[in-house]
């Protein structure tokens, strides 16, 4: 074969490789790179209206929490010792909810599991995929939130996770860090995962005050949680000290023992503090670590990237992090020896109380359904 013919074949191959790949047209004319992603537009439309109510509310918070509680059920140590170490982000918390939601660390998770289950069954998608999709889709309702990667194609076949793989707020920092490392996450990763608590609330640590948020802005994906957790605690919002709770600095705000200790531990304090002034950096770090969490137990290369279905999050409608009214820099328990705590403005006026996150209306009747 002549050189000219060979050159022609090579040029044709390059042209084929460079040609635009066919794109699939989904419902309402929406277009994706892979037809397998089309179903997720329909799932999004359904849960955005009928689960999340287009808000960064309780079901969004709980859906983001569920991504962790499902995926962290994975132990390299158990596997290395010949035991079943869990399947990671495999949907087992929904498939075997009668087992896993009875684990002490999963108290309260049963309600979001049962709220999500009908949607997964209706759209015929795997529980594993649905859990990660709901977390990624839901958090786009939070102002300034991340746009998380979503990969589809996880199997609907799983086994119940072993107990004691989900860290608890009463666990010592050493125990939490060791558990996270066993699942493949460093101390830095652990801090970055805890950024999720900026849009979170407690229901069961103190069941007398369900919906008590971890910071003053639970519908904003901002750095207030990181700042406010470092303020010296002086009060309990509810009925006093509960297992896994420490004193908070604001009426209406709940503080977990684990957040308190990790924010002040010399191994993690600088990473905690580093995210306070740079919102884009904070979001980027969270997106990066969540990409790994969502594929624990899986080979990402075997899954289909349907991230284009995840919408652009609501824009940040807030400025730089501030100190709550009534507090000052002298109230901060600065714990990063390498870098001084940043200078922040203080909100004007007297100290205020933070409202609880309203309970979800998961039956669609317009009425609150109570404790979650």
Measured distance CA(122)–CA(42) in Å, rounded:
11
Q: Is 104 a catalytic residue?
A: no
Please write down the HEC assignment for all residues of the chain: CCHHHHHHHHHHHHHHHHCCCCCEECHHHCEECCHHHHHHHHHHHHHHHHCCCCCCCHHHHHHHHHHHHHHCCCCHHHHHCCCCCCCCCCCHHHHCHHHHCCCHHHCCHHHHHHHHHHHHHHHCCCHHHHHHHHHHHHHHHCECCCCCCCEECCCCCCCCCCCCCCCCCCCCHHHHHHHHHHCCCCHHHHHHHHHHHHHCEECCCCCCCCCEECCCCCCECCCHHHHHCCECCCECCCCCCCCCEECECCCCCCEEHHHHHHHHCCCCHHHHHHCCCCHHHHHHHHHHHHHHHCCCCCCHHHCEECHHHCCCCCCCCCCCCCECCCCCHHHECCCCCCCCCCCCCECCCCCCCCCCCCCCCCCCCCCCCCCC
Q: Which of 69, 197, 279, 298 is catalytic?
A: 69
Q: Enumerate the active-site residues.
A: 69
């Amino acid at each position: 074969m002549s050189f000219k013919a060979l050159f022609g074949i090579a040029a044709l191959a390059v042209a084929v490789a460079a040609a635009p790949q066919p794109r699939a047209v989904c419902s309402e004319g929406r277009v994706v790179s892979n037809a397998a992603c089309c179903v997720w537009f329909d799932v999004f439309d359904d849960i955005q209206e009928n689960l999340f109510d287009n808000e960064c509310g309780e079901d969004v918070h709980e859906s983001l929490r569920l991504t962790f509680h499902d995926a962290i059920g994975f132990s390299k140590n158990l596997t290395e010792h010949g035991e079943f170490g869990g399947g990671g982000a495999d949907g087992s918390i929904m498939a075997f909810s009668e087992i896993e939601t009875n684990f002490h660390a999963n108290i309260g998770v049963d309600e979001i599991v049962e709220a999500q289950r009908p949607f997964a069954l209706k759209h015929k998608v795997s529980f594993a995929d649905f859990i990660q999709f709901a977390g990624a889709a839901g958090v786009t309702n939070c102002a300034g939130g991340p746009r998380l990667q979503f990969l589809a194609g996880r199997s609907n076949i799983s086994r119940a996770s072993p107990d004691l793989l989900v860290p608890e707020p009463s666990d010592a920092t050493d125990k939490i860090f060791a558990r996270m490392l066993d699942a493949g996450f460093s101390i830095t990763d652990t801090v970055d995962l805890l950024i999720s608590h900026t849009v979170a609330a407690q229901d069961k640590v103190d069941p007398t005050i369900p919906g008590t948020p971890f910071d003053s802005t639970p519908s904003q994906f901002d750095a207030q949680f990181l700042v406010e957790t470092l303020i010296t605690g002086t009060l309990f919002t509810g009925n006093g000290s509960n297992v896994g709770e420490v004193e908070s600095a604001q009426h209406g705000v709940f503080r977990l023992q684990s957040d308190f200790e990790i924010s002040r531990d010399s191994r993690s304090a600088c990473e905690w503090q580093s995210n306070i002034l740079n919102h884009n950096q904070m979001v980027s770090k969270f997106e990066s670590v969540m990409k790994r969490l969502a594929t624990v137990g899986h080979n990402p290369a075997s899954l289909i990237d349907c991230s284009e279905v995840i919408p652009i999050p609501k824009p940040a409608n807030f400025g730089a992090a501030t100190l709550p009214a009534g507090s000052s820099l002298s109230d901060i328990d600065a714990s990063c020896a390498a870098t001084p705590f940043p200078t922040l403005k203080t909100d004007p006026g007297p100290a205020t109380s933070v409202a609880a996150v309203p309970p979800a209306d998961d039956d669609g009747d317009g009425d609150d359904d109570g404790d979650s």
